[in-house]
Amino acid sequence: MSKSLVETRIWIDGCFDFAHHGHAGAMLQARQHGTELYVGVHSDEDILENKGPVVMTLDERLAAVDGCRWATKSVPGAPYVTDPAVMDHYGCKYVVHGDDITTDANGEDCYKVVKELGRFIVVKRTPNISTTDLVGRMLLYSKNHHLSPILAKDWQDYAAGQPSHPLLQPDAVKRYKDYATCEDGKNPGVAVFAYTKDTGEVHELVKPSAERFKSSRIYYIDGGFDLFNPGHIVALKKLKERAAADSAVVLVGVNDDEDVNKHKGINYPIMNLFERSLCVLQSKYIDGIVLGAPYKPNKNYILEFPVPVVKVFHGPTSEDADPYSEMKELGLYENLGSHKYDNISTEDIASRVLKNREAYEERQRRKGWKSEHERQLEQQAKKLDK
């Protein structure tokens, strides 16, 4: 039975394959239009029919959506072509989508019906990131997207109003401030710090809400968080639950591209530091992040924060060299232990793509055809609007 429609309950739907920051950006903008956000997630079968093979299963994609700070409720198996009857069932009056056109297998606009009903809200699509882009990087073994570490000179330039590093440019800082907002997508929420690799100093880039760091304890965890996946998400959820029981906050260090590539090799990380940090920043299970955090945390580093680091965690995956030896000597280190998705790694996801290389290459070709068709539909729509 349909519920009465709620003006401030917003609907958004999609594949949400890979938890990249473009998906988070869409959910953020959607949440800013209301007080609740219902997220429809398409089935594996519908995506295969209309777009191509998924990388992440429905269950894995739901974990990513449920872990987003701005999502109120996920709806599994939402139809690929947005159905106002489904929106009605969940009491959502409006659907939000980016300013691009998405088509089904027949080349029809997936939002044609809701547009005609006046129940469609357009937001800006997040530029320069998509699941297709990430799959392309894996297939081509590209490293052109990697960014250099943040150094003291970069921070000095930023402080002087002449930013030189890509992560400290006005557009990037604005994105960090947006993704750091609390559950309403508007007000201050979590903290963003930047680590200067040559001096070992930590600088505050985005100030958190006044309440966020009232706790006098930090639970710290770090890593690459490449292709931000259910393994990362559930680990952070588990840590957040433990931290809350100890009245502590969760601070996440995100290693720079140079360190990740040094220890992972090939073309890792698939996502650069900007992309990986935004993925972590949108998580409802964190209270702050550190851009370019050191691969080996030491005593001087953990003393840089506004309140004491009382525990340093790492997941069940092993490292070639132990980066936590000093933390162990200080009695701060603890292994987070196993969880539901501890078998998933960045390498595992890349392997899923490469094992099905032919199918994904066909998806890339198909995406090219769809993109041209969707571009033509957009041009036609603009002519009609004039």
pLDDT tens for the chain, residues 1 to 386: 346 888 899 999 999 987 678 889 999 999 999 999 999 999 999 998 988 888 899 999 999 999 999 999 999 999 999 999 999 999 999 999 988 778 777 888 999 999 999 999 999 877 666 666 777 787 778 889 999 999 999 999 999 999 999 999 999 999 999 999 999 999 999 999 999 999 999 999 999 999 998 878 999 999 999 999 999 999 999 999 999 999 999 999 999 999 999 999 999 999 999 999 999 999 999 999 999 999 999 999 999 998 999 999 997 666 667 899 999 999 999 999 999 998 898 888 888 877 776 666 665 565 554 444 445 545 555 544 54
Domain check: are 86 and 225 in the same one?
no
> How far apart are alpha carbons 195 and 314 in whole angstroms?
19
Domain check: are 197 and 259 in the same one?
yes
Measured between its terminal Cα atoms, the distance across the chain in Å is 40
Domain check: are 242 and 328 in the same one?
yes
Domain check: are 27 and 105 in the same one?
yes
Domain check: are 280 and 318 in the same one?
yes
pLDDT at 105: 78
Question: Residues 274, 292: contact at Cβ < 8 Å?
Answer: no
| CA dihedral of residues 345, 351, 352, 357 (deg, nearest 10) | 160
From the list 182, 160, 192, the residue with the least C-alpha distance to 274 is: 192
By DSSP bridging, strand 201-206 and strand 191-196 are antiparallel
Buried b (16+ CB within 10 A) or exposed e, 245-279: eeebbbbbbbbbbbbbbeebeebbbbbbbbbbbbb
Query: Is residue 160 included in any domain, yes or no?
Result: yes
> How far apart are alpha carbons 386 and 384 in whole angstroms?
6
Domain check: are 365 and 334 in the same one?
no
Query: Is residue 354 included in any domain, yes or no?
Result: no
Query: Is residue 138 included in any domain, yes or no?
Result: no
Q: What share of the chain is helix, strand, coil (3-state, %, to 5)?
A: 40, 20, 40
Query: Is residue 332 included in any domain, yes or no?
Result: yes
> How far apart are alpha carbons 196 and 202 in whole angstroms?
7
Domain check: are 165 and 311 in the same one?
yes
From the list 198, 184, 206, 186, the residue with the least C-alpha distance to 289 is: 206
> How far apart are alpha carbons 232 and 345 in whole angstroms?
8
> How far apart are alpha carbons 343 and 191 in whole angstroms?
30
pLDDT at 379: 57
Domain check: are 163 and 312 in the same one?
yes
> How far apart are alpha carbons 98 and 133 in whole angstroms?
17
Query: Is residue 134 included in any domain, yes or no?
Result: no
Whether a cis peptide bond, with omega within 30° of 0, leads into 53 is: no
Domain check: are 241 and 314 in the same one?
yes
Q: What are the tokens at 45?
A: 């079968």
Domain check: are 215 and 79 in the same one?
no
Q: What is the CATH number of the domain that holds 293?
A: 3.40.50.620
Buried b (16+ CB within 10 A) or exposed e, 345-384: bbeebbebbeeeeeebeebeeebeebeeebeebeeeeeee
Domain count, the chain: 2
Query: Is residue 93 included in any domain, yes or no?
Result: yes
DSSP letter, residue 179 = H
Domain check: are 205 and 109 in the same one?
no
Query: Is residue 157 included in any domain, yes or no?
Result: yes
pLDDT at 128: 64
Domain check: are 187 and 114 in the same one?
no
Segments forming the whole domain that contains residue 215: 152-343
Residues 6+ apart with CB under 8 A from 241: none
> How far apart are alpha carbons 79 and 41 in whole angstroms?
8
Question: Residues 237, 285: contact at Cβ < 8 Å?
Answer: yes
Query: Is residue 349 included in any domain, yes or no?
Result: no
Question: How many Cα atoms within 13 Å fall on the side-chain side of residue 248?
Answer: 21
